Amino acid sequence: MLLPALPLLKKARAKKYAVPAFNINNLEILKAVIEAAIAMKSPVIVQTSEGAIEYAGMDYLIAMACVAAEAPIPVVLHLDHGKDLKVIRQAIRSGYTSIMFDGSALPYEKNVVMTKRVVGWAHAKKISVEAELGVLTGIEDLVNVDARDAALTNPDQAAAFVEATGCDSLAVAIGTSHGAYKFQGKTHLDIQRLKEIAARVTIPLVLHGASGVLEDVTKLAEHYGASLGRARGVLDQDIQTAIQCGVAKVNIDTDLRIAFTAGIRKAVADLPKAIDPRKLLEPANDLMTQVAKRKMKLFGSAGKA
Ligand code: G3H
Ligand code: 13P
Ligand code: ZN
């Protein structure tokens, strides 16, 4: 059975580890993530963006996640970056056990009003809500202190936001961004800001844009023809520090995408005669499983199922 997210996240924050949340778009990614979670005895959140729902169909994704939840580990199905109220309501009705409302691009007051509304709908079905405050952007892009303060999560505002909305977990902006190109120069997170948020906000905190752009996997993809230029992710050490400071859910999409790409490219190059999609997907599946296992070790969720 798919489980609610909140008890897992509360426990993770209390025990200073993080539950990995992987974006899934198809059966291959889902199976890789679940295989890793079983092997590592880790709880796992599988999450689908609105783009994933558009690609695969919500019914298919829910059906696959329900099968995955028969595994002997806790599995949550979460809506990632829910913005479209129709999709959010459908997810709440149809079996998702956790919802994100992403009002981060809205003015503060509007974000409060909309988040509160979604919290009302979700709580009526005993589903928890992740909200977001602040803009996910690399610190290097914020040229001065004012720009940084305007974009990143303000600790006092975060406390007021949680109080006003009743959200269950909070995604914070501390210098990470989505995708493979997070930093131009030195990778850097605003850990001091995270500490100040964690001192005022006791609900589980969520780190988006947390992929590390793993050097070996990226090199493998490039060896087989990918062009990833100056791709750069978050340092493992920064992830661990963030978890010690209150982050209880860490979102990973890009690292699985790179693993998938590397595996597919390798198979196509190594097996010119293969036309069986299963053969061509095998290395990608293996690589994604390996990457998911590495994340579970890094986040401290291994052995916590
Ligand atoms: O938040 C971004 C995730 O990586 C999902 O990306 O909207 O392309 O599925 P997507
Ligand atoms: P990455 O792009 O760093 O994997 O972040 C994924 C994410 O935050 C999904 O919500
Ligand atoms: Zn995200």
For residue 175, name the pLDDT band (cuts at 50, 70, 90).
very high
DSSP state of 204: P
Section 156-168 average pLDDT: 98
Section 70-77 average pLDDT: 98
- Dihedral angle over CA of 152, 158, 161, 167, nearest 10: 100
Share of residues in the chain with pLDDT > 70 (%): 99
Cα–Cα distance, 125 to 12 (Å, whole number): 23
Judge whether 223 lies within some domain: yes
Number of compact structural domains in the chain? 1
Which residue, chain included where needed, has tokens 């979102």?
Answer: 251
CB atoms within 10 A of CB 41: 14
CB atoms within 10 A of CB 250: 28
Q: Is 80 a catalytic residue?
A: yes
For residue 96, name the pLDDT band (cuts at 50, 70, 90).
very high
* Catalytic annotation, pick one of 59, 80, 255, 270: 80
For residue 73, name the pLDDT band (cuts at 50, 70, 90).
very high
Judge whether 305 lies within some domain: no
Expressed in angstroms and rounded, the spacing between residue 206 Cα and the centre of ligand 3 is: 9
The pTM assigned to this predicted structure is: 0.98
The verdict on the CB of residue 250 being under 6 Å from ligand 2 is: no
Judge whether 85 lies within some domain: yes
The CA-CA-CA angle for residues 200, 204, 210, to 5°, reads 110
Average pLDDT, the chain: 96
Judge whether 1 lies within some domain: no
Give the model confidence (pLDDT) of 53-71 as tens digits.
Answer: 999 999 999 999 999 999 9
SS (H, E, C) 224-273: CCCCCCCCECCCHHHHHHHHHCCEEEEEECHHHHHHHHHHHHHHHHHCCC
Confidence at residue 147, expressed as pLDDT on a 0 to 100 scale: 81
Which range of residues forms the domain containing residue 42?
6-299
Confidence at residue 184, expressed as pLDDT on a 0 to 100 scale: 87
Expressed in angstroms and rounded, the spacing between residue 52 Cα and the centre of ligand 1 is: 8
CATH number at residue 27: 3.20.20.70
Confidence at residue 143, expressed as pLDDT on a 0 to 100 scale: 67
Position 51 pLDDT exceeds 90 = yes
Section 153-162 average pLDDT: 98
Q: Best-predicted range by mean pLDDT among 126-135, 143-152, 179-188? A: 126-135
Confidence at residue 145, expressed as pLDDT on a 0 to 100 scale: 78
The verdict on the CB of residue 211 being under 6 Å from ligand 1 is: no
Give the model confidence (pLDDT) of 115-129 as tens digits.
Answer: 999 999 999 999 999
166 and 217 Cβ atoms separated by less than 8 Å: no
Give the model confidence (pLDDT) of 126-135 as tens digits.
Answer: 999 999 999 8
Confidence at residue 48, expressed as pLDDT on a 0 to 100 scale: 98
Ligand 1 mutation pick, 47, 78, 81, max ligand atoms within 8 A of CB: 81
Judge whether 204 lies within some domain: yes
Ligand 2 mutation pick, 253, 255, 294, 295, max ligand atoms within 8 A of CB: 253
Residue nearest to atom 9 of ligand 2 (CA): 251
Judge whether 11 lies within some domain: yes
The CA-CA-CA angle for residues 20, 189, 295, to 5°, reads 20
184 and 138 Cβ atoms separated by less than 8 Å: yes
Confidence at residue 137, expressed as pLDDT on a 0 to 100 scale: 78
Confidence at residue 153, expressed as pLDDT on a 0 to 100 scale: 97
The verdict on the CB of residue 23 being under 6 Å from ligand 2 is: yes
Cα–Cα distance, 262 to 260 (Å, whole number): 6
The verdict on the CB of residue 254 being under 6 Å from ligand 2 is: yes
Position 95 pLDDT exceeds 90 = yes
Nearest atom in ligand 2 to the alpha carbon of residue 177 is 3
The verdict on the CB of residue 232 being under 6 Å from ligand 2 is: no
